């Protein structure tokens, strides 16, 4: 059985009509590949179109500000991808005169482009014989060959890259890569794969040994950290106090509200009694209301947040270096974590919330 040919035949009959498959433009392919990393196609598609419309080429992208990129990225998560893309675009503008490279060796030298992305761009744009290995490819290869080595182990990554190289159709590497990735996404799915219509199931090790649900193997060594954010809202219909997050924490360089982080959730009265609260807002601050606790799940962390509405004289607020007042109208231009954007959108646009409007004196 010509395994690659069978999967390519399946692909040509069943592939989704996706816009980045109808081009060999390296910039467009790069845009789609980075946006779709750790993002479902349905979620990423609108972002792809918005970015391509606003930044039609890498030069336009390179001239954008970080705030502009992060704002357009808002809601996709993994914001470091957007920041890395801006660095990559500026590198290409500076070192390649705005001409997006297409060879693997040139691409791999750019910051923010790893082995997978370099292989994808080079094979899709110029049919360079480089095998891509993403989550879908790991799954297909693990099941087909019956590989029990964890996909996220050092040895496992070497094994799967070697297997991907061995099965690569060197006459049609771009189509082969697209086919195996689509095969994993649409048919050889993580749960409930469609084995009954799989064209290569008779030679699939996992199918023959009834180990579909057991492969691929992945090491579960991820430790989840829980964090507790007490956010403070000081706002009126014209002005709001914001915080710009540091580059060294989650949501780097995004905008949220002033906060005090505690090691566990404590009563609001205990938050008010904290030295930092008094240092930030003085002893005359009045708590108008508090929100319910909201949970936000990240890859390595779980954030539990609550919003505390304050009424306080503006002269009593001890502005920290990262805090600043801005107009409510300017909020739509600032990139924020989803939990902050959702809260402020409700606060300013839901009629019921208007009765709770707080005022800076």
Q: Which residues are catalytic?
A: 33
Sequence-distant contacts of 155-164: CB under 8 A, at least 24 apart? 156/217, 157/133, 160/133, 161/115, 161/131, 161/133, 164/131, 164/132, 164/133, 164/137
Query: What is the DSSP pairing of strand 301-311 with strand 225-233?
Result: parallel
Which residues, other chains included, contact 359 with Cβ-Cβ below 8 Å and sequence gap of 6+? Answer: 236, 311
**Element containing residue 214 per DSSP (H, E):** none
Give 131's Cβ-side CA count (13 Å radius).
20
What are the CA-CA distances from residue 224 to residues 220, 300, 303 (Å)? 11, 5, 10
Tell me whether residue 146 is exposed, middle or buried, using C-beta atoms within 10 angstroms of its C-beta: 0 to 12, 13 to 18, 19 or more. middle
**Of 275, 282, 150, 165, which Cα lies nearest the Cα of 221?**
150
CA distance 217 to 210: 15
Contact call for residues 306 and 290 (beta carbons, < 8 A): yes
């Amino acid at each position: 059985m010509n395994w690659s040919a069978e999967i390519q035949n399946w692909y040509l009959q069943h592939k989704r009509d996706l816009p980045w498959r109808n081009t060999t433009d390296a910039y467009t392919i790069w845009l789609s590949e980075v946006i779709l990393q750790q993002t479902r196609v349905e979620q990423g598609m609108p972002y792809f179109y918005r970015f391509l419309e606003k930044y039609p080429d890498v030069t336009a992208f390179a001239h954008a500000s970080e705030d502009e990129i992060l704002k357009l990225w808002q809601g996709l998560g993994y914001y470091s991808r957007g920041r890395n893309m801006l660095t990559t675009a500026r590198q290409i503008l500076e070192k390649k005169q705005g001409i997006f490279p297409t060879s693997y060796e040139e691409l791999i030298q750019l910051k923010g482009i790893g082995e997978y992305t370099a292989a994808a761009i080079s094979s899709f744009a110029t049919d360079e014989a480089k095998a891509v290995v993403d989550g879908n490819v790991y799954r297909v290869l693990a099941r087909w060959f019956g590989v029990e080595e964890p996909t996220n182990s050092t040895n496992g990554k070497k094994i799967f890259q070697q297997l991907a190289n061995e099965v690569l159709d060197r006459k049609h590497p771009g189509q082969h890569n697209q086919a195996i990735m689509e095969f994993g996404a649409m048919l050889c799915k993580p749960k409930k794969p469609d084995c009954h219509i799989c064209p290569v199931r008779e030679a699939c090790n996992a199918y023959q040994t009834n180990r579909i649900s057991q492969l691929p193997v992945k090491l579960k060594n991820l430790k989840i950290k829980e964090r507790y954010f007490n956010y403070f809202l000081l706002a009126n219909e014209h002005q709001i106090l914001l915080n710009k997050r540091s580059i060294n924490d989650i949501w780097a360089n995004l905008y949220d509200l002033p906060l005090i982080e505690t090691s566990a959730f404590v009563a609001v009265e205990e938050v008010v009694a904290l030295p930092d609260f008094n240092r930030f807002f003085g002893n005359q601050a009045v708590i108008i209301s508090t929100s319910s606790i909201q949970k936000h799940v990240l890859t390595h962390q779980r954030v539990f947040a609550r919003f505390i509405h304050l009424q306080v004289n503006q002269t009593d607020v001890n502005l920290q270096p990262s805090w600043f007042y801005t107009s409510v109208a300017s909020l739509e231009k600032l990139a924020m974590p989803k939990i902050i954007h959702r809260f402020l959108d409700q606060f300013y646009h839901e009629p019921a919330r208007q009765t709770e409007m707080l005022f800076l004196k």
